[in-house]
Every structure is written in structure tokens, then in C-alpha cells.
Amino acid sequence: MQRSLEEYPGITPFEGMASGVAALVRHLPAGSPATYYCIHCLVDKANNILGDLTTLKDDDWKNWQGRPEPCKKILELLLRLTSLVDIQVLPALMKSLAQLIIQLPKTGQIMVLNELYAQVAESDDVTRKPALVSWLQSLSYLSSQAKTEVLTSRGRKENSASPGTIEPNARL
């Protein structure tokens, strides 16, 4: 896995790497350290590629279904892993994915969240679906708050949360 990621996206074909990761995750025992390591390596590679793509334009993120960049492919693989990993590994994967998604530009966050919503909505897995729904709601909230923090750091109006977001101290 580590060697494949070292040469990705140059030499390593994504399809072969993705099938290897899926096979690893499916056939290892529940909670295997190798599964955690595999996820950690994928997240590290996505972070490295994402650091190189700071100039990615909004239009590139809008074309999610088109010919995705290497970072988008790794993100898609990590999204698919939410339905493949065992329930013991799922919280670590959700935490790593959340950290990656929050780093994306706003358009990228929206595209990834939409993809996740669609994947969870289609799922029939009664074990992981409640956790994923709760996680997605929290992630959507964090994503909207990240936008607010960026605006406040630029000296704009401090209470600039988008309509429909819940303020932290709001009463229900």
C-alpha cells in the first residue's frame, strides 16, 4: 500500500490501488491495525496532493463526475470506504475524512458533502447509517462555520453565518 501511494499518481494506476485497498479492508479482521494504517496512508497522500493543489479553481471542483484530479480520486476512495470498513474502524475514518473535507475550498466541501449525502441516503446498512447521518450533520455545520471564521479573519461582520445554520448559543 505504502509503495503504491509513493508512486501515485505518476506510475501507480488508481484502479489497481483502489481494488487492493478494498480487498485489504474486506479481508482483514475487524479492527486490524493494517486497516488503520491503510486509511492513515490514504489521508496523508490526499493531504500531500491537496497541498499541491492550492490553486485549484472552483470550476474544477464543480466537475466532480468528470475527469477527477488525483486528490478527488483518493477522496472518492475514502468515501467508498465508509461503507466497507468494519464498525470499529469507522470512527477513525470519519475523523480523518472530516479533517480532509474542512481543508477543501468551499466548492470542494459542497461537492464532497453532496456525494456523502447521496451515498448515505442510498445505504441500507442499519448499523452504520445512524452514525453517518449524525456525522454528516456535524460536518455540514463545521463546514458552514469554517466559512464564517474565514470571513471574520478578513475583518468582516462577525455574525456572518449563512442562512439556515444554527448559531452555537441559539435556543431551540
Q: How close are the terminal C-alpha atoms of the chain, in Å?
A: 47
The DSSP call for residue 63 is -
Amino acid 135: pLDDT: 92
Single pTM value for the model: 0.72
Domain coverage including residue 57: 2-153
pLDDT at 91: 92
Q: What CA–CA distance (Å, rounded) separates 91 from 132?
A: 9
Q: What angle do CA 30, 97, 71 make, to 5 degrees?
A: 115
Residue type, 22: A
Total residues belonging to the chain: 172
What pLDDT, on a 0 to 100 scale, did the predictor assign at position 134? 92
CA distance 114 to 139: 12
How high is the pLDDT of residue 55?
54
- Within a domain: residue 135? yes
Q: Residue 62: its pLDDT value, please?
A: 55
Q: What's the farthest any 2 CA atoms get from each other in the chain?
A: 54
Q: What is the structure's pLDDT at 125?
A: 87
pLDDT in tens, the chain (172 residues): 788 888 787 787 888 888 888 888 888 888 889 889 989 988 888 888 877 655 555 555 555 444 457 778 888 888 888 888 888 899 999 999 999 888 888 888 888 899 999 999 998 888 888 999 999 999 999 888 865 554 454 444 444 444 344 344 433 3
Number of domains in the chain: 1
Which grid cell sits at 104?
Answer: 477543501
Contact between 98 and 139 under an 8 Å Cβ cutoff? The reply is: yes
Whole-number pLDDT of residue 170? 37
Q: Which of 30, 34, 73 is nearest to 50 (CA)?
A: 73
Provide the 3-class DSSP secondary structure of residue 146.
helix
